Each structure stands twice: as structure tokens, then as C-alpha cells.
Amino acid sequence: MMPFPPPRFMPPLGERPATPRERVLAQWRGINLAPLEIAQFNRAKAVATLIPRVLGDIRIDHRQAEAEIVKVWNAQLDPQLTAHAQPTQVRKGTLFVTVDSSVWLSEIVRYRRREILERLQGSFGRDLIAKISFRVG
């Protein structure tokens, strides 16, 4: 009967032994840069893995939709109207439009709101633009 179990493999503590290549380079340079090279080696990432995350972080799809709304706004609506009112943002299905005066705000809300909403919904669908909110600004 054995009093102790057989010893298991234990990895060595401390730095790993230098390879022959690392020893020659350290001798030639006068300094061992192998640990620094190893530390920097693993930080590189492929661009293909970073681009989707970066584009998601800056919400590029949302910004593209807003740019398209401005283009359609300027192309399909009356030039007099677009001179006094411009879309500023889309949030949760509501298009926010900034109008330069309260007179134009009253004109748009009373007479042109439905026409504007129908034209934009015809271009983008009801899910992107469900309603419009006008503000003086």
C-alpha cells in the first residue's frame, strides 16, 4: 500500500525557456525582447472581425435611413415647404421635423401633415415612419 499518490505533471513556474532563435537574437541585440514580442503578437485582430462591431456601435444603418429620409423629403415635397422645415431625427417610428417659424408650423400641422406622412410612408413604409412630430427650432 502506497502512502502517497504518484506525482502528477506540474508545469514549471516562471518564464518559459528561451528557444535557440530567441537566444541568438538576444545575444545579437544585447537585450532579450522575446517577452515583449510575445505580448504584442496576440493583440492583432482581423479587420473583418472588427468592422461589423464598429459599424454597429456607430449605428450606421440608422444613419443611412436618416440620410435617405432627408433625400426623399427634399425630392418629393414642395420646395417652399422644404425651405422652412427639415427632418432632424427618427426615433421609435416618429419622425421629428424642425420648422423655422410658428406660422409655418401652423400651416404644416393644419393643412399638410397628412400629405407629408402619406408620401413618406409610401417611400419608407409604416414601420419606419408611423407619425410625424413638428417643432419650432
- Sorted by where each starts, the structural domains of the chain and their CATH numbers stand as 20-56 (no CATH), 60-136 (3.30.300.180)
Cα 124–Cα 130–Cα 132 angle in degrees, nearest 5? 100
pLDDT at residue number 87:
93
pLDDT at residue number 42:
65
Rg (alpha carbons) of the chain, rounded to whole number: 32
SS3 state at 134: strand
Cell representation of residue 85: 422645415
Q: Is the pLDDT of residue 1 over 70?
A: no
Q: pLDDT digit string (tens) for 17-26?
A: 878 988 888 8
Asked if 78 contacts 87 with a C-beta cutoff of 8 angstroms, the reply is: no
Average pLDDT of the chain, as a whole number: 85
Task: Quote the pTM value.
Answer: 0.58
Cα–Cα distance for residue pair 111/36, rounded to 1 Å:
70
Average pLDDT over residues 95-100: 94
